[in-house]
Amino acid sequence: MTLLDHVPSEAQLRRSAYRRRQTVYSVLVAAFSTAALGTLLVIAVTGAPGWDRVRRSFLDPEIARDALPTVLSGLWLNVRLLVCCAVGALLLGLLVAVLRTLRGPVFFPVRALAAGYTYTFRGLPLIIVLYLLTLGVPGLRLQGMPPVLVLGGIALVLTYGGYLAEVFRAGIESVHPSQLAAARSLGLSYRQTMRHVVLPQAVRRVAPPLLNDVVALQKDVGLVSLAGPIDAVRAAQIATAQTFNYTPYVVAGVLFVLLAIPLIAVTDWVTLRAARRQSGG
């Protein structure tokens, strides 16, 4: 930091002027190369021999307008399912990760169960879990069976809970043993140490990868449509089948990206903040 009454030297003035010129030059180069690449791409795509046909079957504005309401209502299902499944999977993941850290012979079955769960559900393809839950479980004809949408949600929570549990566990293990020693030396029990010292630090550290998994979940919630409920992609598929035009898929794709942007922006912001905190320490 320079003081207000500091007069920069000749050499410093020359350096500043040089750096300003370099900045202007860099901006000009970036603008030119971006414009050149963009023009090339447009020429390559629109100049292709099949461009007119592709434009008609993928980018028809009229069909896009007609398909938008049904795709949007499908997307609303995605959003609701995403919120419920994200909360569920985060809670399940945290619970399983904590269970895996328990020591002592009493907890052996709990540890084994938790470890078996993360192994199974990280290995099992989501589609198979979905089919087992939405087609297999109702086949049992039990009393009080939840609707197919809830079963599909449970499949998503089970699958993503397995991934999130491992992320949480990595966070728990990243907390230095000296923090545990300090907490235990104050007389805190293992549970209190976990609750007040280890978990707050662990969750903060792994917030970026956790949010990254939520972004992935956002795309996978649509798979419940395999069992019947109509989400955005399924709605687009129906519209496509009616018009023999693929534009509704493009509409659904654009909506998905728009939905992901805020979540990704939050992830980036949290990551940046975490990095700053660490370098600031």
CB neighbourhood size of 138 (10 A): 15
Q: How far apart are CA 277 and CA 38, in angstroms?
A: 38
Q: Is 179 in the site for other proteins (CB under 8 A)?
A: yes
Q: Is 174 in the site for other proteins (CB under 8 A)?
A: no
Candidate residues 34, 200, 228, 241; the one interacting with other proteins per rule CB under 8 A: 200
Q: How far is the CB of 192 from other proteins (least distance, A)?
A: 5
Structure tokens at 18: 């040089």
CB 167 within 8 A of CB 93: yes
Q: Is 280 in the site for other proteins (CB under 8 A)?
A: yes
In sequence order, what are the residues at sequence separation of 6 or more whose Cβ sits closer than 8 angstroms to the Cβ of residue 245? 56, 57, 58, 60, 63
Q: Is 39 in the site for other proteins (CB under 8 A)?
A: no
Candidate residues 67, 96, 158, 183; the one interacting with other proteins per rule CB under 8 A: 183
Task: Please give the size of the binding site for other proteins, defined by CB under 8 A.
Answer: 19
How many Cα atoms within 13 Å fall on the side-chain side of residue 180?
Answer: 11
What's CA 92's distance to the chain center, in Å? 17
Query: Is 83 or 186 the residue whose CB approaches other proteins more closely?
Result: 186
Q: How far is the CB of 93 from other proteins (least distance, A)?
A: 20
Structure tokens at 163: 């991934």
Query: Is 199 or 250 the residue whose CB approaches other proteins more closely?
Result: 199
CB 71 within 8 A of CB 238: no
Q: How far is the CB of 172 from other proteins (least distance, A)?
A: 14
CB 172 within 8 A of CB 97: yes
Candidate residues 201, 212, 243, 271; the one interacting with other proteins per rule CB under 8 A: 201
Q: Is 49 in the site for other proteins (CB under 8 A)?
A: no
| Only segment of 35-43, 178-186, 209-217, 244-252 that touches other proteins (CB under 8 A) | 178-186
Q: Is 181 in the site for other proteins (CB under 8 A)?
A: yes
DSSP 124: S
| Only segment of 17-25, 32-40, 105-113, 186-194 that touches other proteins (CB under 8 A) | 186-194
Q: How far apart are CA 225 and CA 236, in angstroms?
A: 12
Q: How far apart are CA 77 and CA 73, in angstroms?
A: 7
Candidate residues 197, 207, 221, 235; the one interacting with other proteins per rule CB under 8 A: 197
**Binding region for other proteins (CB under 8 A):** 178-179, 181-189, 192, 196-197, 200-201, 204, 280-281
